[in-house]
Amino acid sequence: MRYFITGTAGFIGYHLARRLLEEGHEVVGFDGMTAYYNLKLKEARHAALAQFPAFTAHIGMLEDRAALARAATARPDVIVHLAAQAGVRYSLENPKAYLDSNLVGSWNVLELARELGVQHLLLASTSSIYGANPTIPFHETDRADEPLTFYAASKKGMEAMGHSYAHLYRLPTTAFRFFTVYGPWGRPDMALFKFVAAMLEDREIEIYGEGRMSRDFTYIDDLIEAILRLAARPPDEANRVEAPAGIDTLSHQGPYRVVNIGGGQPVGLIDFVETIETVLGRPARRLMLPMQKGDVPRTFASPDLLVALTGYRPATPLQEGVRAFVDWYLDARAYL
């Protein structure tokens, strides 16, 4: 099949594109190569993908609708929209970047999918949408109307736009919500990357919320497996989940569904740090700090809908995933 993926120079987009290429699919990638973090890492990801003859890269911004259209002249079967302005804390400094990329840019992707009549559009959303939800685990059917950051609000807006297009144009659309994805080739602004780099250089690591927070970590290979299984199941009444009752988010107004991708096994931040210490064989110098504005105390995915739809649940042990990241980092830091 032919896939059009936005964000192929990004962490998740790289892994998804590589898996598809290894399986013999054709991938057209689109990325803005923004300077939000180290461009050398983004360029290295695209260079690795360029080793596959079936990969074509296009550089452009999501806000540039004409650039998107030029990149998709070879009509794709599936569009996976991963590109976005990421980062919870950066949204406090530069909210307009989120407006431009996550709302205007996502609308451009919706328009592209409508014009091309793709078989399935998949939209990358986030667990940040749940805000400080007091009910755990987080179910897709929970209210998600109190985002704590503009990043979360922009993703919620993208989901709402996706539903309207699914209804108006019968465009099969799945929005999947990520839960703290980590692994090799990860983003430098994420905790694992920052902690490992600091510990290897004997610098302090900043632990917010005095370490009382917890996160539902998802290893990158688990995430990619879940995305591919969901890609093969466009929302349709024929695959509505009847049992367990009440868990399916398949809309009655159009072919649209929201699905968590998380294992439902949250880990405390201190336990996370101790796992890194074990893998590196050295203690961390810990700087305990209060909760930052926009942070949530915990994330905790219900994987029930994902399991019902695909038979799959992310389950890579944290220590195994952290070790894979450290092995990659030790090899990669020479060019980062």
**Residues annotated as part of the active site:** 151
Position 334 scores a pLDDT of 76
**Strand duo 214-215 + 267-268: pairing:** antiparallel
Strands lying side by side in the sheet with 256-261 = 55-59, 26-31, 2-6, 78-81, 120-126, 173-178, 256-261
> Residue 250 pLDDT more than 80?
yes
Indicate the SS3 state at residue 76.
Answer: coil
What b-and-e string marks burial along 219-253, b requiring 16 or more CB atoms within 10 Å of the CB? bbbbbbbbbbebbebbbeeeeebeeeeebbbbeee
| Rounded Cα distance, 1 and 26, in Å | 6
Indicate the SS3 state at residue 287.
Answer: strand
What confidence tens digit (pLDDT) does each residue in 182-208 have? 999 999 999 999 999 999 999 999 999
- Left (φ > 0), alpha (ψ -120 to 50) or beta: where does 276 sit? alpha
What confidence tens digit (pLDDT) does each residue in 1-46 have? 999 999 999 999 999 999 999 999 999 999 999 888 889 999 999 9
- Residue 141 binned pLDDT confidence (cut-offs 50, 70, 90): very high
Position 93 scores a pLDDT of 84
| Rounded Cα distance, 100 and 97, in Å | 5
Fold of 2-183+216-263+300-315: Rossmann fold (3.40.50)
| Rounded Cα distance, 250 and 99, in Å | 27
Q: Structure pTM?
A: 0.96
- Residue 87 binned pLDDT confidence (cut-offs 50, 70, 90): confident
Q: Where are the domains of the chain?
A: 2-183+216-263+300-315
